[in-house]
Amino acid sequence: MRLKSMAALAAVLLLAGNAFAQDGRAAFEHRRDTMKAMGRALYLGVGRVAKGRAEFGPDTVAAAETLAKLAATIGTLFPPGSDVPDSNMKPGILSAPDRVAQLAAAVQAAMPGFVVEVKSGDKARIAAAASTMNKACDACHNDFRKEE
């Protein structure tokens, strides 16, 4: 009887471990998709206007607002277990929650001003705001993202 109980416990633990691994994979995929969407909004939606490669318009504003909305979720994107093998996370990110929170807060704090500057339609202001936002994103990537 005891052997059956241990076998059942082992099966439950195996399934739980597999579920945790799947949750980690799902969290990684969500983070990857969110970061790609943020990159598209910043570099394509706003950045092209900042560099004079596209005209300012409603899509530019929508991209800035999308970036602000997604940036509000940064603090939720790095749960334990999401450092799967194909993740670009450096291992230190999970042991530095205060630094991650500080960097995420810097990005989030810059967002309202970023959106205002983009909405101005002034290409110089948009370029300066995009540069500031890029630097805020790079600060975290430099500390916690592996080179591709």
What domain count does the chain have?
Answer: 1
Q: Which residues contact 92 (CB under 8 A, 6 or more apart)?
A: 143, 144
Q: CA quadruple 44, 45, 49, 50: dihedral positive or negative?
A: negative
Where residue 26 sits, what CATH number does that domain have?
Answer: 1.20.120.10
Phi, psi of 67 (to 5 degrees): -60, -45
Segment 82-103 shows an average pLDDT of 89
Domain that residue 112 falls in: 2-144
* pLDDT tens digits for range 26-84: 999 999 999 999 999 999 999 999 999 999 999 999 999 999 999 999 989 988 889 89
